[in-house]
Structure 1
Amino acid sequence: MILLLALAGGLGAAARFALDGELRARRPSEFPWPILLVNVLGSFLLGFLTGLVLDGADERWHLVLGVGFCGGFTTFSTAMVDTVRLAQRGAVRSATLNLLGTLATTVLAAAFGWGLAVLL
C-alpha cells in the first residue's frame, strides 16, 4: 500500500507540473490561474472519491487516489506563495482574489464532486 501511495503521489506531482507548465506556456499571466485550476480539479476529484467511498466503494482507492494522487497533484503551499508574491508586487486585489478564490472554488469543487458521486 505504501508503494502505491508513493507512486500515486509522484504521478500526481508530475501531472501538476505538466499541467501547470502547459497552461502557463499557452496563456502567460501575472495571476496564477493554472495552480488555481489544478487545486480546483484536485478538490473535485477528492470530493468525488470521498463520495464513492461513503457510498460503499473500496476505501483503498480513496487512499491511493485521494491521499496519493490528489495529495501530490494539489498544492496549497504554491497557492499561498503565489498569493504572497502578488501582494509583494503590489497586486493586492489579485492576491486577495487568489486567496479567497482558492478557498471558495476548492470547497465548492469538492462539494460538487461529492454530490456527483452520491448521485451515481
Structure 2
Amino acid sequence: MIQTLLQVAMGGALGSAARYLVNVTAMRLLGPGFPWATVAVNVAGSFLMGVLVVSLAHRDAMRLAPFLMTGVLGGFTTFSAFSLDALTLWERGQAGAASAYVLGSVAASLAAIVAGIAVTRAFLA
C-alpha cells in the first residue's frame, strides 16, 4: 500500500509540474482573457487517459495505473481549476463565454478520451 501511495505521489508531482508549465506557457502566449490552459490540460489528459487505459490493459501493465493514471494524469488535469475558471467568467458577466467554456470543455474532453481509445486500439490491432 505504501509503495502504491508513493507511486501516486510521485506521478502527481510530475503531472502538477507539467500543468504549471502549460499554464505559464498559455498565459505568455495567449494572455489571461480565457482559461485556455485548463482546456488544454483537460482535453490532452482525457486523450492520454484513453491511450493509457487501452495500452496498459493490452500489455498487462495495469500495475502502472496508479503512477500514470491516478498520479501523473490526476495531477495534470484539474476539475477544481475548471470550476474556478467557469465561475470567474460568469462573475465577470461573461455568461456566454462561461457556457461555451463548460460545454466545450466537457465535449472536447469526452471526444478526446474516445479518440485516445480508438487510436490506441487501431494502433495495437
**TM-score, structure 1 length as denominator?**
0.94
1-side partners of 2:68 and 2:36: how far apart? Answer: 24
Alignment counterpart, residue 90 of structure 2, candidates 70, 87, 105: 87
Q: Size of the alignment, in residue pairs?
A: 120
Q: Which residue of 2 aligns with 1:119?
A: 122
Q: Deviations over 1:72-97 (max 9, x none)?
A: 00001101110011011110110001
Q: CA RMSD in A?
A: 1.2
Q: Which residue of 1 aligns with 2:27?
A: 24
Q: Which runs of 4+ in 1 moved over 2 A?
A: 53-57
Unaligned runs of 5+ in 2: none
What letter corresponds to residue 64 of structure 1 in structure 2? F
Between the aligned residues of both structures, percent identity stands at 33
Give the TM-score normalised by the residue count of structure 2: 0.90
Query: In structure 1, which of residues 35, 54, 58 is the aligned counterpart of residue 38 of structure 2?
Result: 35
Instruction: Tell me if structure 1 keeps the 8 A contact 2:7–2:66.
Output: no
Q: How does 1:31-110 map to 2 (within 5 A)?
A: 31-110=34-113
Q: Deviations over 1:29-53 (max 9, x none)?
A: 4111111011111111111101113
Task: List runs of 5+ in structure 1 lacking aligned partners.
Answer: none
| Separation (CA, whole Å) in 1 of partners of 2:29 and 2:119 | 30
